Structure 1
Amino acid sequence: MAAAAQGSADKAWMSEQLLQASRAGDVQAVRKLLAKDAPVNAQDAQGNTPLLLATAGNHIEVARSLILHGADVNIQNAQQDSAYLLAGARGNLEILRMTLSRGADLKSTNRYGGTALIPACERGHVATAKTLMDAGVNVNHVNRLGWTCLLEAILLSDGGAPHQQIVRDVIAAGADVNLADKDGVTPLAHARQRKQQAMVEILTAAGAR
């Protein structure tokens, strides 16, 4: 009984150490703890795993070590972020690619009901958004706000070069350029309202009305 209690205490201690080391980006400490069989999918009070904490800090080598040791890329915390979803939203491209290679759930959604692609487009992460599109994330997914990735790239941007490229890529990936928001306002109408002339031209050329 005492041995079992001690084993449980040791596991809890290693879990806490692994969480702390992952948050700090201490790859040597992470590798030592994993070698001692620390629980790779341990979770803190907010539901964060070591991999989620490493992703938040863009600690690439820590994330690699955790993933190679079997970390689950789809576990979601209390805010409904997973390592995969967070990497997409933050534009942490190397970690995102690792999660995609280890079974990232492309249909999983964040607390806004959006895929990883939607915040990647909103924030102007061109390479990240393209990687997600190439992986097969649905470009016409609508989140709880009633917005697609195309709408967010217009509504929540300044219409500059990165977002223009994202809009071109989204259209090339099969986005419905006339899919309106929940108020019936189309991407083209939003671009015109915001005086985003380059966006207007891109959308018009793609058949937007």
Structure 2
Amino acid sequence: MRIGKLFLLGFVLFLVVVNISVSLSLSSFVDRKPVFTEKEEIIDGLKLLDTKDRMLRKLGKPKNTKKEYWGAYGDEVEYCYYEWGYVLFSPPPAPHKDLERPIEEIEITGKNVVGPRGIRIGEDYKRVIESFRCDVKEIYERAFHDVKLYEVKKSNEEKMLGFVIYNDEGEINEIWYKVLNEKYSSEFGLRFELMKKKVVKIFAYYFPGD
């Protein structure tokens, strides 16, 4: 009888330990916040494909600028550097060379600014996931396979996706949101790079495709 009670007590303690270890390795989510779209504000109301004039109105004059030839365009791109990161302008589409250059990339690495949906450098990965749509109830803090947060089909040609990406050590490495247009192979993206579960870089980009 005494042995039976000891066994039962040991089993209960085992369940408690297992429950604690699982709760430490999992984070509970599921949220119906809006998905990332091409109209997402990245910093101070600035969006991908905005013009340089709009950037200057929103962010002021950059500390430095640099032009660089990109063979993919057969033309120069322009970097505008700020204390917190940079904004990259690509050449306008070939038939419209008279148009203003659009923003193709925005990179944030400084802590003194507010990024998309109020997220700052140094914040926890949970802050990112809780700011966007999430159809997944639980996310492992350590895993060896990527997790799809959501997939929304906007049309036959366009879909929106969210992912958690793990590195080879099983640590959460990136949280990535995309808008893909399969007809033109174009892509809008927003990537949060992480180190020890904290945001170290916010990178928004537009890939024009074919």
TM-score, structure 2 as length reference: 0.21
Bigger share in helix: 1
Q: More strand per residue: 1 or 2?
A: 2
- Larger Rg, first or second structure (1 or 2): 2
Q: Using CA pairs under 8 Å that are at least 6 residues apart, name the structure with larger relative contact order, 1 or 2.
A: 2
TM-score when scaled to structure 1? 0.21
